[in-house]
Structure 1
Amino acid sequence: MKKNILLIVNPVAGGIDKSEIIEATFLFAEKKGLNLALYKTTGIDDISKIKVLYDSLKPERVIIAGGDGTIKFVAEALENVDVIFGIIPAGSANGLATDLNIPKQLEESLSIAFHNAFTEMDMIVINGKTSLHLSDLGLNAELIKNYESSAIHGKWGYALQVFNTLVDIEEPFTAIITANGQTVERVAQMIVIANSKKYGTGVVINPDGIMDDGKFELVVLKSLDLTIFAKIITGNIPIESGDVEIISTDRANIKLHSPVSFQIDGEYCGRETELNVAISPHKLKVAIPI
C-alpha cells in the first residue's frame, strides 16, 4: 500500500501563484511511489479541517507550502502528532526556512522536504500562543502592523511602511524582565523573543539561537536609531553593538509600563502590557538539508 503524504498550500501567501509548486510536488511524490493529498487553506476553520484530514489519512509526512504564518498554524493544528514536516518557502515572510537553510529553489526545497534528515525544533509559548521563529515587542511589530493595514502589499508596500514607521517612531519603552531567578529593568526600542538566529532578510539578530537546545533568547535592543533599523530590516548588516543585551532562558516574564506593539512570527497581535514566555522543547520534526 502506498504511503500517504499531505500537502498543505496557502494560496495567497507571498502573493504568488502556487500551481507550479502543486504540480511539482505531485510529480515528485509519484516518482517516489507515494500517494499525495492536497489541502488548500481558506482562512475559515483551517486548523480543525487539517486535524480531521490528518486523522483520516495518517500521512507519514506533511509538506507545507507557504510562509512563517502558514507553518505556524499547521504546527499548532498538528503539534501533538508524530510526523515530519517539510517546508517549501512560498510566503512573504520565510524566516524559519531561511534559518533552517532551506533554499527557495523549488526542486531543492522539494528534495529536502521529502528526505529523512530532520531536526526536532522547540516551540515557544507566549501568553498561550505558539511562536516557532521570532516574535518581538516595539519597532518591528509597529512596522508589521502598518504593513498589514496598508492597501499596498509586496516589496513596494513594505518599503513604504518602513518609511512611515521610521517617521512615526515611538519613544523607547520600559520593561521589567524576570528570567533565570533575576529581575531587571530595561529601557528598549525593541525586545526580540528568539527561538532562532535570523530574520527572513537573513540578518542575524540572535547569534546564540539554537532551535533545539531547550532555551530561547530575549534580545534587548536598548537604542536603535533610524539608520540602523533601516539596515537591519533590509538585510544589510547584522547587529553588532554594545546597546544589545541577550538573555538566554527557558522561561521569562516581561511587564511593560505601557502597552507596546507585539508580533508573533510576522503576525501583528496588538499591544501588550505583559508577556509570559516559556519553551516547549522538541515539539516539531522539520526536514532539513543534510
Structure 2
Amino acid sequence: MKKKYILVINPISGDVDKSEILNKTLAFAEEFQVEIIVYETSGENDGEVIKTLYNLHKPERILIAGGDGTIKMVGEALEKQDVIFGILPAGSANGLAVDLNLPATMEENLAVAFHNHFMEMDMISINGRKSIHLSDLGLNAELVRNYENGSTRGKLGYALQIITTLTELEEPFTAKITANHQTIECTARMIVIANSQKYGTGVTINPNGIMNDGKFEIVILKNLDLMVFGKIITGNMPVDLEDVEIISTDKATITTTSPVSFQIDGEYIGEETHLDIRILPSQMKVAIP
C-alpha cells in the first residue's frame, strides 16, 4: 500500500509557477512511494472540500503550496486532525516559511516536507479568528488592504502599494492594551500581534518570538517615519528598539479610540476598535529542517 499525501495548491498566490511545484512534488513522491492527491484552491468553500478529502483518503501528511493565508486556511480546516503539514513556500507572503528557517530551493523544501522532523506550533485566536504568524493594526494593515485592491501581484505589487499607503498616511492612533494584569495606554503607528519573529521580507519585528512557547508578543511601534516604514517593509533594516515596546503574554485585549485597519496573516479583515486575543497552544504539527 502506498502512503497518501494531499497536496493543496493555491494557483494564484505569489508570482511562482505552480506547474513546476506540482511536477517536482509528483517526482519526489514517486521516489518515496507516496500517492499524491492534488487539490487546487478556488476561494470557494476550500476548507470544507479539504475536510472531505481528508476524511476520504486519511492522508499521513498535508503538503501546502501557497503563502501564509493558504497555510492558515488548511490548518483551520484540519485543526482537529493529528496530521503533519509540509510547507512549500509559494505565496506573496511567506513569513511563516522564513520563521521556520525553511530552505531556499523547492527540492530542499520537498525533502523537509517529506521527512519526519516537526514542531507543534501554537496559533493565536483574535476575536475568534485564527492567526498563525503575524497580525497587525495600523500602517501595515493599510498596506495589505491596498495590495489586495491593487492589480499587480508579487514584490512589485507591494512596492507600488507602499508608495500609495505612505501618501495616504493618517495620524497615529491611540490604544489601550490590557495584558498580564496591567493596562497601558499608547499612541502608535502600528501594533503587531506576533506568534513568530519575522515578516516575509525577512525583517525581525519580534526578536522574542518562539512559535511553540505558549505565548505571543504585542509589539508596539510608536514612531514610524516614512523612511523607516519603507525600510522595514522591504526588509532592509531591523527596527530601532528605542521606538518599540514588546509585551509577552498568553492573553490580552486591545481597544482603540477610533476604528483602525487590521490584518491577519496577510489578509485584510477590516477596521477594528476592539481585539480579544489569546494563545492556542500546540495547534499544528509542521515539518521543519
Range class of TM-score, shorter chain: over 0.9
Name the aligned partner's letter for residue 40 of structure 1.
E
Find the counterpart in structure 2 of residue 189 from structure 1. Answer: 189
1:222 partner letter: K
8 Å contact from structure 1 (residues 88, 104) kept in 2: no
Q: Residue type matched to 1:254 in 2? A: I
> C-alpha displacement at 1:69, in angstroms?
0.7
Alignment partner of 1:14: what SS? coil
Deviations 1:4-37 (A, max 9, x none): 1111111111133211111111111111111111
Q: Which amino acid aligns with 2:48?
A: S
CA RMSD in angstroms comes to 0.8
For residues 151 and 88 of structure 1, the distance between their equivalents in structure 2, rounded to whole angstroms, comes to 25
Distance 2:220 2:16 in 1: 35
Equivalenced residue count is 289
Q: What is the 5 A alignment of 1:59-208?
A: 59-208=59-208
Give the equivalent residue in structure 2 for 1:260: 260
The answer to whether the 8 A contact 1:122-1:280 is kept is: yes
1:223 equivalent in alignment to 2:220: no
Structure-2 separation of matches of 1:81 and 1:16: 29
| TM-score of the pair, normalised by structure 1 | 0.98
Indicate the residue corresponding to 1:246 in structure 2.
246
Contact 2:96/2:133 (<8 A) preserved: yes
Q: Report the Cα offset of residue 159 of structure 1.
A: 1.2
Asked if 2 retains the 8 angstrom alpha-carbon contact of 1:89 and 1:104, the reply is no
1:63, 1:155 → 2: CA distance?
24
CA distance in 2, matches of 1:169, 1:151: 21
Between the aligned partners of 2:121 and 2:240, the Cα distance in structure 1 is 27
Identical aligned pairs, as a percentage? 64
Q: Which residue in 1 is equivalent to 2:22?
A: 22
**2:47 corresponds to 1:33:** no
Q: Distance in 1 between matches of 2:117 and 2:95?
A: 20
SS of the counterpart of 2:242? coil
**Structure 2 unaligned runs (5+)?**
none
Q: Which amino acid in the other structure matches residue 227 of structure 2?
A: T
SS at match of 1:228: helix
Tell me which amino acid in the other structure corresponds to 2:250. D
SS at match of 2:14: helix
Give 3-state SS (helix, strand or coil) of 2:177's partner. strand
Question: Which structure 1 residue ranges, 4+ long, deviate > 6 Å from structure 2?
Answer: none
Which amino acid letter does the alignment assign opposite residue 9 of structure 1? I
Query: Partners of 1:96 and 1:224 in 2: how far apart?
Result: 24
Greater displacement, 191-200 / 146-155 = 146-155
Q: Distance in 2 between matches of 1:157 and 1:82?
A: 37
- Aligned to 2:183, what secondary structure does the other structure show? strand
What corresponds to 1:7 in structure 2? Answer: 7
2:92·2:153 contact (CA, 8 Å) conserved in 1? no
CA positional deviation for 1:164: 1.2
Letter in 1 for 2:246: I
1:65 is matched by which residue type in structure 2? A
TM-score w.r.t. length of structure 2: 0.98
Structure 1: gaps (5+ residues): none
Residue 56 (structure 1) aligns with: 56
3-state SS, counterpart of residue 242 of structure 1: helix
